Amino acid sequence: MATWSALPKSILIVVMKKLINLSDKIRFSSVCSSWRSVALQERFQLLRCAPPGFIIPGSPNNSCKARCFLPFTKIKLCNDGDTLVHNNLPLLSLPDKSQCCGSYQGWLVMVNPNLDMAMVDLVSGVRFRLPGVTTLPPVPQALALSKTHVFYSISSVNKAFISSSPTCSVPSKCFFFVIYTRHHALAYCKLGDTTWSPLKSTDSVGKPFNGFTDAIYHKGQLYALHETEKIFTCELTAPSPEMTEFLASPHRFINKQCSKEVCYLVESGGELLLVYRRKDNTRTRIGYRTRMFEVYRLDFSLKKWIPVVSLGEYALFLGRSQSFSLSELKVGGIKRNHIYFMDDCIHADHYYKKDTGYDMGEFNLESSTIDFYPTSFRLPYQPGFWVTPALQSSLTLGYKSFDLYLSRNFDSS
């Protein structure tokens, strides 16, 4: 009598391509060694339909059991007015009482109360140690205030960035960047380093400055966005890397009724994009809301910002974590030429006396219209952040590891 493991490869491929849910895809590869072998051979097709989701931080004590994962396909299934933590969402198994300060292709950058830092694979649980927060270079402005030394905390790292997946890169070419302290200084390290190195930036008279708000590693070069909206760049292979001014912000009309703008750097289709997110600041029932997006691409030959009227097959995902783009042709469930955005206001409780998470939705670049998510009315504590679970490393895990992970994180039952 034939067994499941003896099914022909052609039939298994047909079955696998019919699967839609992420949990079903991973379960398929954990049935037996022959099924997993087929999944590995067809992993690009398997990965193609895996949509992103976002992680909802827990209570202020950062208990690991309080973190939830909301698959992208379920966002609009939550009723308006619901509280997400009451929707019986799957819980994540992440380092206890740690805080996430960045994400990239399924990797999370975590900081624990001891100020240790590590990268954690969302699916497999694989970890890479990073230099601790206390090894960050002292910020001159902070030293000028304290006179002696700088005090760091679990919240000192504002945002973390990753150049490439550590499992797919040569260690010496896998870079990590952080924007840290209220002065928004910039530092970097390579995989395996034990301390963070400074990225020096000085003005025309040699005075050091900081104030960086976003960064991206694009085609072998670091680009950082300054609070003045100027772009700075750096060659990390230089003996003493230093940020140099590269390009000013684009000339544009600013709507004076929008009192706040947030800017993002994101790569899409091989292009470097600068995205402006315009918000109002009126004290309405909501308190603050995104009203418009403007997108520019950098023409390196002309060294000029060009307005973007269409993203083509791509969609952008913006928020507190590292911004990214996905192709509608490669990922199921997303819409081309759309911008999916998270609430990135981390002080909503202070400024607006409300829970954060009111400002999430999707922007249609063609029609300039916004569809706000119903879940955005009741997201407690800190804002969530986008993640793209990377299945490639997960497909090599054993059967028990799959079941354990699925039962914790992606079980849709």
Distance CA 316, CA 236 (A): 27
Distance CA 386, CA 388 (A): 7
Total number of domains constituting the chain = 1
User: What order of strands is seen across the sheet that includes strand 231-234?
Assistant: 212-218, 221-226, 231-234, 244-247
- Tell me, what's the pLDDT at 49? 53
Contact of 92 with 67, CB cutoff 8 Å? yes
> pTM for the complete prediction?
0.80
**For residue 154, which of 116, 184, 200 has the smallest C-alpha distance?**
116
Structure tokens at 341: 């955005």
Tell me the pLDDT tens digit for each residue of 301-359. Answer: 999 999 999 999 999 999 888 899 999 988 878 899 999 998 876 554 444 445 555 78
Distance CA 229, CA 57 (A): 29
- Tell me, what's the pLDDT at 375? 55
* φ/ψ (deg, to 5) at 4: -60, -35
The structure tokens 């969402």 sit at: 89
Tell me the pLDDT tens digit for each residue of 40-88. Answer: 666 555 555 567 877 766 554 544 444 667 777 677 666 544 444 445 5
Is residue 290 domain-resident? Answer: yes
Measured over the CA atoms of residue 318, residue 323, residue 327 and residue 333, the dihedral's sign is: negative
Burial profile 342-359: b = 16 or more Cβ within 10 angstroms, e = fewer: bbbbeebeeebebbbbbb
Is residue 259 domain-resident? Answer: yes
Distance CA 407, CA 413 (A): 10
- Tell me, what's the pLDDT at 382? 61
Is residue 369 domain-resident? Answer: yes
Tell me the pLDDT tens digit for each residue of 382-407. Answer: 667 788 866 544 444 433 444 444 44
Is residue 262 domain-resident? Answer: yes
Is residue 253 domain-resident? Answer: yes
Bridge partners (DSSP) listed for residue 336 = none
- Tell me, what's the pLDDT at 318? 94
Is residue 260 domain-resident? Answer: yes
Is residue 359 domain-resident? Answer: yes
Structural domain span for residue 332: 249-385
| Single-letter amino acid, residue 326 | L
Instruction: Supply the DSSP symbol for 89.
Output: P
Tell me the pLDDT tens digit for each residue of 197-251. Answer: 999 887 766 777 899 999 999 999 999 999 999 999 998 888 888 899 999 999 8
